[in-house]
Amino acid sequence: LAKTTQPISMDSYEGQEVNITCSHNNIATNDYITWYQQFPSQGPRFIIQGYKTKVTNEVASLFIPADRKSSTLSLPRVSLSDTAVYYCLVGDMIGGFKTIFGAGTRLFVKA
Amino acid sequence: NAGVTQTPKFQVLKTGQSMTLQCAQDMNHNSMYWYRQDPGMGLRLIYYSASEGTTDKGEVPNGYNVSRLNKREFSLRLESAAPSQTSVYFCASRDFGLSDYEQYFGPGTRLTVT
């Protein structure tokens, strides 16, 4: 399983765009990149997943460069309710049932 | 459609007591997982079940046992609780499919061992 490295914490202000980068130098050919969000006292919630280039949904965008050794989660115009912990996971889609969550990035959005 | 449910929501045990945490999902998912999350930390995988009838160890299996009772249910048992097992326990499920990594999590069980 590829190890991931993320910043421990980030601060932002309401209305700003936030970019959280995850490093995964040992990513394998079959690995996908997935991001989760966790609020206090709740289980994590899936945000977005990608394999290469750019993926966008109604919540976020995920940018993956050609070498796939890193990825960036982009949250447009954050609000106070985006204050949470964000986890980057890298996993094998083919038979990859074992999943490893790192420590995550604590995002604090200020008014 | 309740998703993933866990019981109990809270539990206090004395050292040496045993208990079983229950998890059920109604999404017909093949894979199920048990994680623990200590205060201020990320989630750590205890055990997982890729499909009905199979279970495998995760990162921190010592002190725990699991049973995949059927496709819907995956229980976690603490045979002799220790204070180090004080944590929040999350169950999750996932459908097995290529290009699909989304796990659905339950609300968690907050366990305190005194």
> pLDDT digit string (tens) for A42-99?
999 999 999 998 999 999 999 999 999 999 999 999 999 999 999 998 887 555 567 7
Who wins on pLDDT, A103 or A45?
A45
CB contact under 8 A, A99 and B102: no
Q: Chain A contacts of B96, Cβ < 8 Å? A: 97
CB contact under 8 A, A97 and B48: yes
Distance CA A32, CA A100 (A): 13
Among B21, B22, B6, B24, smallest CA distance to B81 is for: B21
In this structure, the number of other CB atoms found within 10 A of the CB of residue B96 comes to 14
A-contacting residues of B 29-88, CB under 8 Å? 31, 33, 35, 41-45, 48, 50, 56, 58-59
> What φ, ψ does residue B83 adopt, rounded to 5°?
-55, -30
Q: Chain B residue closest to A46 (CA)?
A: B102
pLDDT band for B67, please (50, 70, 90 cuts): very high
Q: Chain A contacts of B108, Cβ < 8 Å? A: 41-43
Who wins on pLDDT, B97 or B48?
B48
Share of chain B above pLDDT 90, in %: 76
CB contact under 8 A, A99 and B103: yes
Hey, what are B44's tokens?
């750590």
Cα–Cα distances in angstroms (integers) from residue B31 to residues A108, B4, B98, in the given order = 33, 12, 13
